[in-house]
């Protein structure tokens, strides 16, 4: 490959090798450490999937208990971090606050090399930080962590102070597993670049949060929610969708830049949400809209293979648990913390600093 080759956005350029995940857009496959991501959603917990990404294998029962106990221990924030949260402007957005607070936690982590243990500690603390910052912005006191709840149920509990229903936990667990890792995306690349300089874990994660904060990467699936809100009932689905397609408008939540076939994350979320529709009218509506839209897309755009992407069911899941729109990206961040920290540790283990070249387009001196 010529050193002068310029590819905008590095699209299609291989920048690293990884054993963490494989994203196969042509065939619609997503693999976590040798396991199909879609299979992890059925029969495995958030903690088991996280252990897999961190350690390269699923845990045995003793290791799973130990991981859960470690996560529970580090949910409680140090007094210094609680004071930092209280010192921030109450109207500061959650992602900016999270970035600042994690920077403030940097001194608690090993400088180099970054460790899985520090990644676990950070993954445990982030949901508590998000909930505390959000509730403070609403004039509400922070909820005291509950050691009896697993990671996903505990996050929902911290936001409201009320234990979530089993169907809410199941839907959010599926979402969390399917969003915790997705190859060398913008935020993961940012984390690996910072790590390649031999910087610390907190600095690398802050870089990743900065990338995730951008609407082109971590933007909330609000347009999907707006579509489902406008449809409202099953009886309105087909006429509403037909009207949009007749006008040549795009249906939000269908089609994907990477996946040229069915998005495996959407497929897995569909399987989970379909099993919960009897418990949740909103999920029931979402599944009906999806089925109707795919049928109509094949009618109006034959051969285009436009299927549901992960944003469609992410929106449905978020709505089913009454997640405020301002917490969509922070919630995405809480699960992606697992993938980021796994990549940070992997980068450090076989490190070479990233140093791409640039092509000068300015003028030369006379």
Joined tokens for residue 174: 């599926």
CB 307, CB 254: distance < 8 Å: yes
88 φ, ψ to 5°? Answer: -75, 150
Indicate if the pLDDT at residue 361 is higher than 50.
yes
Mean pLDDT computed over 93-108: 95
**Structural domains in the chain, sorted by start:** 32-163+172-219+325-349 (1.10.580.10), 222-320 (1.10.230.10)
| Confidence band of 278 (pLDDT split at 50, 70, 90) | low
High-pLDDT (> 70) share of the chain, %: 96
Closest residue by Cα to residue 175 from 295, 254, 276: 276
CB 68, CB 46: distance < 8 Å: no
Furthest C-alpha separation in the chain: 75
Mean pLDDT computed over 229-246: 95
Mean pLDDT computed over 89-103: 96
Segment among 110-124, 145-159, 264-278 with least mean pLDDT: 264-278
Provide the annotated active-site residues.
Answer: 256, 311
pLDDT tens for 215-224 read 888 766 777 8
CB 155, CB 146: distance < 8 Å: no
Joined tokens for residue 13: 């350029």
Q: What is the pLDDT of residue 257?
A: 62
Question: What's this model's pTM, rounded to 2 decimal places?
Answer: 0.90
Q: How far is 178 from 218, CA to CA, in rounded Å?
A: 14
């Amino acid at each position: 490959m010529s050193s002068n080759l310029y590819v905008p956005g590095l699209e299609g350029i291989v920048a690293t090798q990884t054993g963490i995940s494989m994203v196969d857009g042509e065939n619609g496959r997503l693999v976590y450490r040798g396991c199909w991501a879609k299979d992890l959603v059925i029969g495995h917990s958030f903690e088991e999937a996280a252990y897999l990404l961190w350690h390269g294998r699923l845990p045995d029962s003793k290791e799973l208990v130990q991981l859960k106990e470690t996560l529970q221990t580090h949910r409680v924030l140090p007094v210094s971090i609680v004071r930092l949260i209280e010192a921030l402007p109450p109207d500061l957005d959650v992602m900016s606050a999270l970035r600042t607070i994690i920077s403030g936690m940097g001194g608690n982590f090993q400088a180099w090399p970054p460790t899985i243990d520090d990644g676990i500690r950070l993954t445990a603390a982030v949901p508590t930080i998000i909930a505390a910052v959000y509730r403070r912005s609403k004039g509400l006191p922070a909820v005291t962590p509950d050691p009896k709840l697993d990671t996903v149920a505990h996050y929902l509990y911290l936001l409201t102070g009320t234990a979530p229903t089993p169907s809410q936990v199941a839907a959010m667990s599926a979402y969390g597993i399917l969003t915790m890792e997705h190859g060398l995306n913008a935020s993961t690349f940012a984390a690996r670049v910072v790590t390649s300089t031999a910087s610390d874990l907190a600095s690398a994660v802050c870089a990743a949060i900065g990338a995730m904060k951008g609407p082109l990467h971590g933007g909330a699936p609000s347009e999907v929610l707006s579509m489902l809100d406008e449809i409202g009932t099953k009886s309105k689905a087909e006429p509403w969708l037909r009207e949009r397609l007749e006008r040549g408008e795009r249906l939000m939540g269908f089609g994907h830049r990477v996946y040229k076939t069915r998005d495996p994350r959407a497929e897995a979320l569909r399987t989970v949400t379909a099993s919960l529709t009897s418990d949740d009218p909103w999920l029931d509506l979402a599944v009906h809209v999806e089925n109707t839209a795919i049928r109509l897309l094949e009618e109006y755009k034959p051969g285009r293979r436009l299927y549901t992407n992960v944003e469609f069911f992410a929106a449905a899941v978020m709505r089913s648990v009454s997640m405020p729109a301002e917490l969509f990206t922070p919630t995405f961040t809480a699960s992606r913390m697992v993938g980021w920290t796994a990549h940070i540790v992997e980068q450090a283990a076989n490190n070479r600093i990233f140093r791409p070249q640039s092509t000068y387009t300015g003028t030369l001196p006379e």
